[in-house]
Amino acid sequence: MQKPSVAELRPVVHPAGVKDRRSGEHWAGRLYMREISLRIDRHLVNTRVTPNQLTYLMTVFGVLAAPALLVPGIWGAVLGVLAVQLYLLLDCVDGEIARWKKQYSLSGVYLDRVGAYLCDAAVLVGFGLRAADLWGTGRTDWLWAFLGTLAAVGAVLIKAETDLVGVARHQAGKPPVQESASAPRSSGLALARRAASALQFHRLVLGIEASLLILVLAIVDAVRDDLFFSRLGVAVLAGIALLQTLLHLVSILASSRLK
């Protein structure tokens, strides 16, 4: 069977609005990965590969970021970025294959969310273990492993806070939340939310951004021949994750999403 061209795939797998979803599309997807995924799609759409199988594989690559980051030096950080980029690629491909084959399922949506939780957590836990210097000649400092795990818990809680809005509304028999309902009712909170959105600091605890930050810090540490900046990064991400967990919860409660 002849493989469809990219031009044939695009209108089906990238329908209007897919790249413009405010909360559902990552900047890396819009910038480059959706174009790469199209080239992968054409080799898969006529095979027996299912969207859910791709989602399972996506999750595996996301989780592999943790052991990848345990490789000492710059190469461990490079492997971590590679694992997360493969996760992102498959995160694009699984949905695109589902649209082409019309193989939609609630289990697919559920598995996709599980994969997102695990990838973010794996990167941050791996970062903490990396900063703890497991393979170093000196004593392993478990404080950094603890802070990395703390950051991972915060990152997962932030996602859970968002997802639980849908759970609460469903259990109350209400329709899905509208995007306009996310705006805080208080003008002061609305201003703070706009400031946080402009700074985008909260995105640093997401797997993709965190992996890129880890690579930058690994390069600096390689020049210094120590782990100072990686350890500083772990502490900063733990602080951001905890602060954002609290601020996100307040933002939800102060908006109309639970009304």
What ranges do the domains of the chain cover?
Answer: 6-253
| Mean pLDDT of all residues in 119-147 | 92
| CATH of range 6-253; options 1.20.120.1760, 1.10.3720.10, 1.10.1240.10, 3.40.50.300 | 1.20.120.1760
pLDDT tens for each residue of 53-99: 999 999 999 999 999 999 999 999 999 999 999 999 999 999 999 99
pLDDT-derived band at 36 (thresholds 50, 70, 90) equals: very high
Query: Which carries the bigger pLDDT value, residue 255 or residue 66?
Result: 66
Is residue 189 over pLDDT 70? no
pLDDT-derived band at 24 (thresholds 50, 70, 90) equals: low
Distance CA 75, CA 69 (A): 8
Q: Are 81 and 56 spatial neighbours (Cβ–Cβ below 8 Å)?
A: no
For the chain, list the strands marked E by DSSP: none
Is residue 35 over pLDDT 90? yes
pLDDT-derived band at 191 (thresholds 50, 70, 90) equals: low
pLDDT-derived band at 38 (thresholds 50, 70, 90) equals: very high
For 225-248, letters b (16+ CB in 10 Å) and e give eebebbbebbbbbbebbbebbebb
pLDDT tens for each residue of 163-187: 999 999 989 998 988 765 555 555 5
pLDDT-derived band at 226 (thresholds 50, 70, 90) equals: very high
Q: Are 131 and 167 spatial neighbours (Cβ–Cβ below 8 Å)?
A: no
What is the token pair recorded at 22? 């405010």
